[in-house]
Amino acid sequence: MANALSLDSVVLSQDAKELVILDQTLLPNEVKFLRLSKAEDIWEAIYSLRVRGAPAIGVAAAYGVYLLSAQEDTGDMEQFCERFKAHKSYLDTARPTAVNLSWALNRMEKVLEAEKGSLSVPQMKQRLLSEAHAIREEDIAISRSIGRLGFELLKPGDGILTHCNAGSLATAKYGTALAPVYIALEEGWNDLRVYCDETRPLLQGARLSAFEMQTAGVDTTLLCDNMASLAMRRGKIDIIFVGCDRVAANGDFANKIGTSGVAILAKHYGIPFYVCAPTSTIDMSIPHGDDIVIEERKPEEVTEMWYAKRMAPEGVKVFNPAFDVTDHDLVTGIITEKGIAYPPFDVSFKKLGIQ
Ligand code: MRU
């Protein structure tokens, strides 16, 4: 089985004509890359979680809006800008919660706005391409910085609990919540233990985090989400690292459904709970976690997906939010690439230069 760290979750093809993504819906059973160039296919890949995880979605969106704009054959800058904005608005509707999607698209638009007066359309296409590449390259560096800061919080032999997948697959490489483990491996540590919450209903913990950690040679244990309490009670968990999709200005954050329960348990058992967040995931325009839009997904993800046959009565009502909000007072610290923010978060975000 391929080492997950060697698999690129999202890149542009050599000829810069296709978005190449690892189809994460097929993992861990099949490693298959998709080559996408049509708007509907790129949108669908994000919506269906073929490419997923906040930073990876941002990279896919940046390459996506470049590709679609580069296909426009107008030489007129005004028309080009209109077409760019239409592609941007369309891709922005694929998923609502991860701020990185709109963050990356807005960053691409800023380049367009700032340089449209001085560049020809072909030059602008090149400029957008280099910006999309920069977003991906920066994401790799950011993940490594988060990994290093997280690593410094670890002791040899620690048991780490993680929820969902905020690993290499969810970013351009290394991940956020799993990055400290990759750094530990580079440092020659081989006695960390990683516990992966299964993460119902889409099983990102079982299919992706367990796959990443096991193929990296880490001592990996999979548990159902409702087993985390006992694992903590029995002293198996020393620290918790999770990713996030959007952090509000007060430090509340949205992450995969089930995260807030893990944070509440961690407080009960006195276990440090850290959120790993590139600063691009911090949305200072949102004052409070309750203002974050929570994606709701189709009922079949709960009633029948992954089962050989349906496991719920026909017609039963289903509540299927993809994310939940964790209150900032349950968070020990937020690990960004610029440093670790500790409560009160409004003050520490300012100190880190986040605005
Ligand atoms: O629905 P998903 O799989 O995209 O949700 C992913 C998460 O919740 C991750 O924890 C988050 O995006 C951070 S990834 C570094």
Answer whether 337 contacts ligand 1 (Cβ < 6 A): no
How many whole angstroms from 74 Cα to the centroid of ligand 1? 37
- Residue 311 is predicted with a pLDDT of 96
Alpha-carbon Rg of the chain, whole angstroms?
20
Answer whether 256 contacts ligand 1 (Cβ < 6 A): yes
- Residue 24 is predicted with a pLDDT of 98
Q: Catalytic amino acids?
A: 245
- Residue 355 is predicted with a pLDDT of 87
Residue nearest to atom 8 of ligand 1 (CA): 256
- Residue 2 is predicted with a pLDDT of 77
Q: Which atom of ligand 1 is nearest to the CA of 276?
A: 15
Candidates 139, 256, 257, 334: which one to mutate for ligand 1, based on the most atoms within 8 Å of Cβ? 256
To 10 degrees, the CA torsion angle through 21, 23, 27, 30?
Answer: -100
Kindly state the tokens that stand for 314: 């026909």
How many whole angstroms from 256 Cα to the centroid of ligand 1? 6
How many whole angstroms from 121 Cα to the centroid of ligand 1? 35
- Residue 181 is predicted with a pLDDT of 98
Q: What structural domains and CATH numbers belong to the chain?
A: 4-143 (1.20.120.420), 153-351 (3.40.50.10470)
Run of H or E including 160: strand 159-162
Backbone torsion region of residue 225, taken as left when φ is above 0, otherwise alpha when ψ lies between -120 and 50, otherwise beta: alpha
For residues 228 and 234, give the distance between their C-alpha atoms in angstroms, rounded to a whole number. Answer: 10
Answer whether 55 contacts ligand 1 (Cβ < 6 A): yes
Q: Is the CB of residue 146 less than 8 Å from the CB of residue 278? A: yes
- Residue 251 is predicted with a pLDDT of 98
Answer whether 176 contacts ligand 1 (Cβ < 6 A): yes
**Amino acid of residue 109:** E
Answer whether 164 contacts ligand 1 (Cβ < 6 A): yes
Answer whether 212 contacts ligand 1 (Cβ < 6 A): no
Answer whether 255 contacts ligand 1 (Cβ < 6 A): yes
How many whole angstroms from 91 Cα to the centroid of ligand 1? 18
Handedness of CA 240, 243, 245, 247 (dihedral sign): positive
**Cα atoms in the Cβ-side hemisphere of radius 13 Å centred on 69:** 36
In tens digits, the chain (355 residues) has pLDDT values of 679 999 999 999 999 999 999 999 999 999 999 999 999 999 999 999 999 999 999 999 999 999 999 999 999 999 999 999 999 999 999 999 999 999 999 999 999 999 999 999 999 999 999 999 999 999 999 999 999 999 999 999 999 999 999 999 999 999 999 999 999 999 999 999 999 999 999 999 999 999 999 999 999 999 999 999 999 999 999 999 999 999 999 999 999 999 999 999 999 999 999 999 999 999 999 999 999 999 999 999 999 999 999 999 999 999 999 999 999 999 999 999 999 999 999 999 999 999 8
Answer whether 53 contacts ligand 1 (Cβ < 6 A): yes
How many whole angstroms from 131 Cα to the centroid of ligand 1? 23
At residue 220, φ and ψ (nearest 5 deg) are -120, 135
How many whole angstroms from 99 Cα to the centroid of ligand 1? 11
